[in-house]
Amino acid sequence: MNKKLMLAFLIFALVIGISALIRLSDDNSEEIETRNEGTYQSSPQNQINNLVQGNANQDNVNIENLNQPNTNIDNTNQVNTGGISLYELASHNSRNDCWIAYDGTVYDITSFLPKHPGSAGAIVPYCGTSSDFENAFSGQHGTSQVSRLFREGELMGDLI
């Protein structure tokens, strides 16, 4: 076998090996995280989920400690009375259900996430947020992509 072909195989094997190592280490860390979720119930995300499910008192939730923006959450806004509360907005905080608020208006951008040129992962951390999303959005795009946001996002209502 000539040297050129051997080098090509070597590069290919190197890529496969390094990729396998990276994936194995990532899978292991995911497994550890999954295990930890079973015992650690008071993470900010769990607290948000508990709030949404109305279990705040059962879990001694301290709203001030929530690692989410706009923590002046109004627990009386469980029922949507024409607008969308920060509380409700915060419940749509995942890749499969992503609402954001921009300039006082709430949009469902779940279907846009896979189309985001900068990858869905760049937006997902801001799902369910208002000011955090606005800051990140403006920091990245200024006002150049606002019209696209309005076009791609499904209008859900005003933020109250």
Partner 1 sequence: MNLEKFSKPVLRMGLSLVLLWFGFQQITSPENWAGFIPQFIISMGTAAKTMVIGNAIFELTLGLFLITGLYTRFASALLGIHILGITISMGMTPTGIRDFGLFVASLVIFLNGPDKYCLDKKFEKNSYK
Radius of gyration of the chain (CA): 21
Among 11, 24, 32, 155, binds partner 1 (CB under 8 A): 11
The DSSP element (H or E) to which 33 belongs, if any, is helix 3-39
> For strand 97-102 and strand 154-158, is the pairing parallel, antiparallel, or unpaired?
unpaired
Give the number of other CB atoms < 10 A from CB of residue 107. Answer: 20
Taking the complex as a whole, the smallest distance from the CB of residue 128 to partner 1 amounts, in Å, to 18
Between 45 and 70, CB nearer to partner 1: 45
Residue 63: partners with Cβ closer than 8 Å, 6 or more residues away: 47, 51, 56, 71, 73
Which residues between 59 and 88 bind partner 1 (CB under 8 A)? Answer: none
136 binds partner 1 (CB under 8 A): no
151 binds partner 1 (CB under 8 A): no
Among 38, 58, 64, 117, binds partner 1 (CB under 8 A): 117
Among 38, 82, 114, 142, binds partner 1 (CB under 8 A): 114
Please list, residue by residue across 3-20, b when 16 or more beta carbons sit within 10 angstroms of its beta carbon and e when fewer do.
eeeeeeeeeeeeeeeeee
The amino acid sitting at 123 is: I
Taking the complex as a whole, the smallest distance from the CB of residue 22 to partner 1 amounts, in Å, to 5
Taking the complex as a whole, the smallest distance from the CB of residue 55 to partner 1 amounts, in Å, to 28
**Positions in the binding site for partner 1 (CB under 8 A):** 3-4, 7-8, 11-12, 14-16, 19, 22-23, 26, 113-115, 117, 119-122
